[in-house]
Structures are given as structure tokens and as C-alpha cells.
Structure 1
Amino acid sequence: MKKLSKNALIGYPAGIITGITYGLNPLFAVPLMKNGGAIESILFFRYFFAVLMLAAFLVIRKQRFRISGKQAGILLVLGLLYTASSLFLFEAYHYIASGLATTLVFLYPVLVAIIMVFLKVVPSWPVWLAIAATFGGVLIMTQGDGAQALNPLGVLLSLGSALVYALFIVIINRSKAIASISNSLLTCCTLVVGTFVFLGKILYSGTELTSCITTGTDWFNLLGLALLPTVVSTATLAVASRNIGATKASVLGVFEPITAILVGTLMFSEPLTANIVIGIVIAIVAVTFMITVTKR
């Protein structure tokens, strides 16, 4: 039996941690929202704490923070897209089960493939097959059951989150101007943009900065949001990509929807209908098939 290489021993666990930690978004966000916390306040503190953690990491690593004007412009766009993705996802939690909402964001690789068509990169037949199967899975997921119908607005918000995140990924992969920027610095700059956007939204709307964020549990959940689904998932994704490659790291992302569904069902008693289970399985298999066969 062939022994796993050192890279595999590091990369595979890192990829699994990436999926699990990002899937923990509902675990920390839903209690805050149920307590009456404003989305802009929750996301402001999530981004603010994450920026502090990443900035400290970059300082320890003696990373240079200097970027050019052109890079700053691209990072601003990336920051706005990343911010919109978070906002759409958290808004979706108001309308549909948090596990399902987070699962729908996992469809972003398929949306990336569709966007690439407009950039004259025509997908191969396995990609078209995966796209068709994935949207079939989504249609099944969104049917609900006879007792409870899904709110279409929640589905659209989740898919909107996936779409802007797909645009975020496309720009990162296609822009040569930011190719020299490390993952950590890119993420830090992206989150800085989001921090100012949500601070501006708070000031404009007149929302209290600490709206319904009063207890120690609330602050623990905010730190959890900043640390696990943001900083840890980003860091381990970089580790996994470098050690086992982007393809295998992407495939291990299947742990994201699995974790989100388990959290929603076990922690918040969210409904788990047969349609949702069948739709999720189809979507996960389709996305995994696409990534594995195309090796992209």
C-alpha cells in the first residue's frame, strides 16, 4: 500500500477543514440574527475582527502592504463583490433554512463555468452536463414539500450570493495585475473594503453599532464568525491548494454544504425534506464531477 506523501498529509486535512469551517457560517450567524442583531452590524464586526487577525498575521510574517493604484482599484471591486456575497447570504437566512442557503452558495463553480462562456472560454461536455444536473438539483431542492413551500426570495438571494462570489473568483484568476499579491493580503484588503461598506451602511441607516449585541455569547459568535468561516477557511484553502492542487482542494469543498445542512438540522431544527436531500446530493455530485473531470 502506497504511503501518502507529506503534501497529501497536510493538504487533505486542510481542504476538509476549509469546507467544514465555511459551513459553520449558520452556527454563529443565526443566533445573532434571531436575537435581533442587524445584519450590517454582524457583518461589520465579522469583517473588522477578521481584518485585525489577518493584519496581525501579515505583520508577524513581515509581509509588505504596498500595492499599486491599479491593484487598489481591482481590490476595491473584489471587496465590493465579496461584501455583496456575504450580505446576500445573510439576508437569505431570513427567508429559507440557513443550511439550504449556504448549500446554494456552493454552486459557485458552475456559475464560474457559465461566466467563462462570456469570456469566450467554452466549457467541455462534462461541464455542460454538470451545469444541467446542478440546476436540476436546485429545482428539486426549491420545491419544498406539501407542508411547507420555500420562499423564492431566499433562493434568489442565495444564488445571488453564489453569482457575485463566482465573479470574485473569475477576477482573481483572470487579473494579471493582482497575481503577485498573496492570498492573505488579498483577503485582508477585501475585508477592509467590506468593513468600511458596512460601517457606512450603519451610519447611513442610523443603526446602533452594537444593535442587540450585548451578551458574552453574542461577542463569542462574532469572534467565531471572524475566525472560523473567514480567517481559518481562507488560510486552510491556501494550504490545501498549494499542497494537493486547486482541483482536489475544490472537491473537498463538498464538506461545506454537508456541514451547513447538519448545523441547520441539528442545532436549529430546520426542516430536511426528501426533496432537499435529493437536490443537494445531485448538486454535490454534479459539481464534484465537473471539477474532477475538467481538472480545473
Structure 2
Amino acid sequence: MRRDSKSLGVLAISSAAIIWGSNGVIVNSLPLDAFTIAFFRVLLASIILLPFMLLFRRVDLLRIAESWKLMLLNGFLLCLGWAFLFASMKLIPIANAVLLNYLAPIFTAILSPITLKERLEKTAIIALILSFIGVILISQDEVIGASASNLLGILYGLLAGLSYAGFIIVSKRLRGEFPSLVMAFYSYVFAAVFLALMVQPAPPTLSPYSWLLLLTLGGVNTGLAVTMYLHGLGSVEAHRAVILTYLEPLSAAIFGLVFLGQVLGALDLVGGALILSSGYLVARS
């Protein structure tokens, strides 16, 4: 029975990671700016999750007053993280944008001694060096080509990883007080509030196909996939979950190649491997 539960957990996390890999294709197919896309993502995810929260987590929903400031900060960091990630995806190959976002565990390990009073391990320093080399390899084409938009895409990707690192740190402080699903729901709600202040006041005029893409991004890629991921974490060890989520950049590369014609070079692949390896080192330490 335990083995079956673990197998289902592995399947849930793997499926979620593969689903997330399609985010870049959806983002590049929508005639909207990154902040507007991020707004609709968290808004639709909040609406879809609300009935489940009322049915199964009603008591926990009312406890928000205990830690509303941290929840608010978590939502702000999430809104920045996804907006920067989507902005990066619109400027550079989606696999590279995802890989830069995967620097978050490295940033977390570096910032934890300051924010969480955790000791800085030697492994984190090694991981930082490896990931730095990986970023250089990924961005070498943009630097050599001196394309302003591509360089901006690299910067957005780094900011996405840094924002997500902050989200991880704040989530660690909240994890002992709230179930993961409650944290996710309120993060979406507060992120939607912040993003609503940044997007155009008038609703965009979109085709039915674009609305379908937004519903997919909010309902499937966020509401469903995040729920699957959180469910999988209950039966899969943390370091194994990290390995399984590496299916996201792999699937992003495949989706980018098939749907957008984005081909990664040898240095991109080596740089990506270094970034993922550094993340694995941090997860195992």
C-alpha cells in the first residue's frame, strides 16, 4: 500500500512538472504582456480552488488573521516571480528562462543564513559556483550578440529565480502554521490583488482561443498541477521531488522545439546541466 502511495506521488509530481513545461508555449501564444498573463493565471487559479477550500479547508481559511503580513508578502513575491518568468519567456528560449528560474534553490541557500538564521553549508558555495558558470554558458549567445532584449530576458529570468527564492523562504516560515494548499490559495489571491494594480484597467479583448489558453494556464497548469505537486510531496522524499521537477525544463525544451522552433545549443545544455546539478546538491545537503 505504501509503495502504491509512493508510486502515485511520483506520478503526480512528474505529471505536474511536465504540465508546467508547457507554460512557455502558452505565454508566447497569448497577445498579452507578462504581468497581465500572470494576473489571469493567479485569478483563475484562485477562483477554481475556492470551492475546494470552502469544502475541505474552511477552518484553516479563517486563520489568515494570524499571519496575514507574511501571507501578503508571499503573494507579492509570487506575483513578481511569475511576472518576471513570463517576461523572460517572451524574450529568450523558454527552456533557458525555466533554467534561470531554477536558480531559486541556490539563492535560497545563500539567503537562508540571513533570513532564517541557518548555517551556510560548503555545498551551497559549490552549488553557487556551478550555477554561476551555468548562467554564463546559457547567456553567452545573448552577451556576444549584444541583443538588448535577450539580455533583458536573462535579467528577468534571474529576477524570477530571486523572487521565487524569497517565496520559498517565506513559505518555510508559514509551513508549520498552515496546510500547503491553504498557503497556495492565499498566495494566489494576494498575488492577484498586487497584479491587478499593475495591469491595464480595461479588460483585454481576446479571442475564444486566447481565453481557452488562459483557462488552461490558470486551471490546469496552476490549480490542478500545483495540487498534484503538493499531494505528491506527501509521499515522496524532498530530494527525490526536486529530481522529478527537473522534468519541467526538459519538457519546456521539448515544447519549445516542437511548437516554437527553439533549438538549444551545446553550451545551453551544459549550462542547464550545471544549474540543475547545483540545485540537486542543495536539495541533498
Scaled by the length of structure 2, the TM-score of the pair is 0.90
Match of 1:262 in 2: 254
For the residue of structure 1 that corresponds to 2:47, the secondary structure is helix
* Corresponding position of 1:197: 194
- 2: distance between equivalents of 1:38 and 1:96? 15
Structure 1: distance between partners of 2:67 and 2:143? 51
On the 8 A contact 1:14/1:237 being kept in 2, the answer is yes
CA contact (8 A) 1:41 1:210 kept: no
Residues 15-164 of structure 1: matches in 2 within 5 Å? 15-32=13-30, 36-61=31-56, 63-64=58-59, 65-119=61-115, 120-144=117-141, 148=145, 151-164=150-163
- Shift of residue 173, structure 1, vs aligned partner: 0.9
SS at match of 2:83: helix
C-alpha distance in 2 between matches for 1:28 and 1:146: 27
Give aligned-pair identity as a percent: 21
RMSD, aligned CA: 2.2
What's the offset of the Cα at 1:10? 1.6
Q: CA deviation at 1:87?
A: 1.1
Moved over 4 A (4+): 145-150
* Residue 98 (structure 1) shift: 2.1
Q: C-alpha separation between the residues in 1 aligned to 2:114 and 2:222?
A: 30
Match of 2:204 in 1: 210
**CA shift digits 1:253-286 (9 cap, x unpaired):** 1111111121112210123112111111121122
Number of aligned residues: 281
Question: What are the superposed Cα offsets for residues 36-80 of structure 1, whole Å, 9 maximum, x if unpaired?
Answer: 323343222222211111112212325322024341111111100
Q: Distance in 2 between matches of 1:194 and 1:280?
A: 29
Alpha-carbon distance in 2 for matches of 1:20, 1:196: 28
Shift of 1:244: 1.3
Q: Deviations over 1:203-247 (max 9, x none)?
A: xx44x3124x2x221111101111233122321221121101222
**TM-score where L is the length of structure 1:** 0.87
2:178 is aligned, of 176, 181, 185, to 181
User: Shift of residue 180 of structure 1?
Assistant: 2.5
Which runs of 5 or more structure 2 residues have no equivalent in the other structure? none
Q: Relative to total residues, which structure has the larger helix share, 1 or 2? A: 2
- Aligned counterpart, 1:281: 273
Letter in 1 for 2:88: A
Equivalent position of 1:167 in the other structure: 166
Q: Is the 2:78–2:164 Cα contact (8 Å) retained in structure 1?
A: yes
The alpha carbon displacement at 1:31 in A equals 0.1
Residue by residue over 1:4-41, the C-alpha shift from the partner in whole angstroms, topping out at 9 and shown as x without a partner, is 81232122112212321222211211100xxx323343
Q: Which moved more, 1:235-244 or 1:192-201?
A: 192-201
Distance 2:13 2:32 in 1: 31
In the alignment, the residues of structure 1 paired with residue 216 and residue 239 of structure 2 have an alpha-carbon distance, to the nearest angstrom, of: 28
Question: More deviation in 119-128 or 92-101?
Answer: 119-128
Taking structure 1 as reference, are residues 174 and 59 closer, same or farther at Cα in structure 2, changes over 3 Å only?
closer
Question: What letter matches 1:141 in structure 2?
Answer: I
Distance 1:127 1:44, change over 3 A: closer
Q: Distance in 2 between matches of 1:107 and 1:62?
A: 32
Q: Which runs of 5+ in 1 are unaligned?
A: none
Deviations along 1:109-134, one digit per CA (max 9) or x if unpaired, are 11110111324423332332222111
